């Protein structure tokens, strides 16, 4: 199905975007002379490490600029050739695309994206309903790796399966496609790295140097953050594991216990939808209210720009949330967020 330029601007990873650029008859030298394209390409990379200059006004109006800037951004990343930056960029772009997917009203575009990744068959009777299903092999591939693998909501055992098809709702389909986009971007950049262009225009070299210099300044802080937040579920502290078990069993949690559980999981990168689901069996559960409160703690409301920090262990001991203060690891840390670091080493 031919996809209009407006959609390609939102989903520039599609193969039709490459054909679109070919039709424009643009090469690397041409791209180097278009300031708006270069500015937006740099913006896409800067956005991945939270150095976000003002977006060019043309970015919201000029579909061609959007599409071309994506290709140029991949070139910049392949020339810098840093795995951590590649991952950050892939996450940044995939998160943005996920927002578009959740708002996408044209189900034919969703089909085309699914086909792009070889998702066959995918069955949708009405995209606004829950009547969506994908083949179980595709579902397993997407949910058995990355962050999704740590969230019980994605376990196959809890899904309805009929004739090899796993049912998902539109929001879940968007999240699965987001994961696929992330993997696709990472692979595309790696492939581009193997095919570096020998003679780049001076303007592009200057852009690459600018991006790389700014990234290297921030890289130590990025690595610190990466270490602090990456914990597998098996490495969660006893207090958090207990709170998860109690909540999923429908047991009541106090305010401080809920705050502790939510803030900890947010700092581990667990999705808001998954955290909401953890509380779904609690007797006083109201989805809208629960989601609002979690979004507030995540920094999506109230002017806060990052998740609230989990209470220190001393506070948790005072409120009887700490289960085992005499544990060798618990006794050596000040905050549950650092438990997994001690457990690893």
Candidate from 48-52, 137-141, 160-164, 260-264 with smallest mean pLDDT? 48-52
Q: Which residue has the higher pLDDT, 193 or 228?
A: 193
Residue 52: band (very low, low, confident or very high) from pLDDT cuts 50, 70, 90: very low
Q: What are the residues facing 135 on neighbouring strands?
A: 165
215 alpha-carbon distance from chain centroid: 20
Hey, what are 315's tokens? 């506070």
* Tally of CB atoms within 10 A around 74: 24
Kindly state the average pLDDT of the residues 1-6: 82
Contacts of 21 (CB under 8 A, 6+ apart): 67, 68, 71
Are 6 and 16 in contact, with CB atoms under 8 Å apart?
Answer: no
Kindly state the average pLDDT of the residues 52-62: 48
* Tally of CB atoms within 10 A around 202: 8
Q: Express as a percent the part of the chain with pLDDT over 70.
A: 84
Residue 51: band (very low, low, confident or very high) from pLDDT cuts 50, 70, 90: very low
Please, what are the domains in the chain? 5-224 (1.20.930), 233-344 (no CATH)
- Maximum separation of any 2 CA atoms in the chain, in Å: 69
pLDDT at res. 239:
92
190 alpha-carbon distance from chain centroid: 19
Provide the whole-model pTM. Answer: 0.62
Q: Is 270 helix (H, G, I), strand (E, B) or coil?
A: coil
Q: What is the pLDDT of residues 30-40, one digit of tens each?
A: 999 999 999 99
Kindly state the average pLDDT of the residues 121-127: 61
| Phi, psi (degrees; rounded to nearest 5) at 31 | -60, -35
Q: Which of 83-97, 197-211, 262-276, 321-335 has the highest mean pLDDT?
A: 197-211
* Residue 318 reports pLDDT greater than 80: yes
Kindly state the average pLDDT of the residues 10-34: 90
Residue 261: band (very low, low, confident or very high) from pLDDT cuts 50, 70, 90: very high
pLDDT at res. 207:
95
* Residue 144 reports pLDDT greater than 80: no
Q: Which of 61, 47, 55, 78 is nearest to 204 (CA)?
A: 78
The whole-chain average pLDDT of the chain stands at: 82
Q: What is the pLDDT of residues 212-256, one digit of tens each?
A: 999 888 777 665 444 444 456 667 889 998 999 899 888 999 999
Are 325 and 310 in contact, with CB atoms under 8 Å apart?
Answer: no
Residue 45: band (very low, low, confident or very high) from pLDDT cuts 50, 70, 90: very high
Q: Which residue has the higher pLDDT, 306 or 286?
A: 286
Task: Give the Cα separation of 190 and 208 in Å (integer).
Answer: 16
Contacts of 33 (CB under 8 A, 6+ apart): 203
Q: What is the pLDDT of residues 265-304, one digit of tens each?
A: 988 878 888 888 889 888 888 888 898 889 888 877 655 5
Residue 50: band (very low, low, confident or very high) from pLDDT cuts 50, 70, 90: low
Q: Express as a percent the part of the chain with pLDDT over 90.
A: 21
């Amino acid at each position: 199905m031919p996809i209009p330029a407006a959609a390609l601007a939102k989903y520039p990873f599609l193969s039709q975007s490459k054909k679109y650029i070919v039709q424009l008859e643009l090469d690397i030298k041409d791209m180097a002379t278009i300031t708006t394209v270069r500015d937006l390409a740099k913006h896409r990379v800067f956005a991945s490490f939270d150095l976000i200059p003002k977006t060019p006004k043309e970015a919201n109006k000029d579909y061609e600029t959007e599409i071309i800037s994506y290709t140029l951004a991949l070139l910049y990343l392949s020339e810098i050739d840093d795995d951590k930056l590649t991952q950050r960029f892939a996450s940044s772009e995939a998160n943005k695309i996920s927002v578009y997917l959740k708002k996408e009203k044209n189900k034919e575009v969703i089909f085309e994206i699914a086909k792009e990744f070889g998702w066959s068959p995918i069955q949708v009777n009405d995209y606004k309903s829950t009547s969506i299903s994908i083949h179980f092999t595709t579902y397993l591939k997407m949910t058995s790796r990355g962050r999704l693998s740590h969230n019980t909501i994605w376990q196959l055992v809890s899904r309805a399966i009929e004739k090899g098809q796993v049912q998902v709702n539109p929001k879940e389909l968007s999240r699965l496609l987001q994961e696929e986009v992330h993997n696709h971007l990472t692979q595309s950049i790696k492939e581009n790295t193997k095919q570096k262009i020998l003679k780049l225009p001076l303007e592009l070299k200057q852009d690459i140097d600018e991006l790389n210099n700014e990234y290297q300044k921030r890289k130590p802080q990025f690595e610190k953050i990466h270490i602090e937040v990456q914990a597998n579920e098996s490495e969660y502290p006893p207090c958090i594991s207990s709170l998860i078990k109690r909540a999923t069993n429908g047991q009541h949690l106090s305010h401080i216990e809920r705050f502790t559980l939510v803030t900890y999981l947010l700092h581990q990168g667990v999705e808001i939808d998954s955290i909401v689901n953890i509380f779904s069996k609690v007797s006083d559960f109201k989805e809208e209210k629960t989601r609002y409160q979690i979004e507030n703690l995540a920094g999506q409301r109230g002017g806060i720009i990052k998740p609230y920090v989990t209470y220190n262990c001393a506070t948790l001991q005072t409120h009887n949330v700490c289960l085992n203060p005499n544990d060798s690891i618990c006794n050596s840390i000040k905050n549950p967020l650092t438990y997994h670091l001690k457990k690893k080493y």
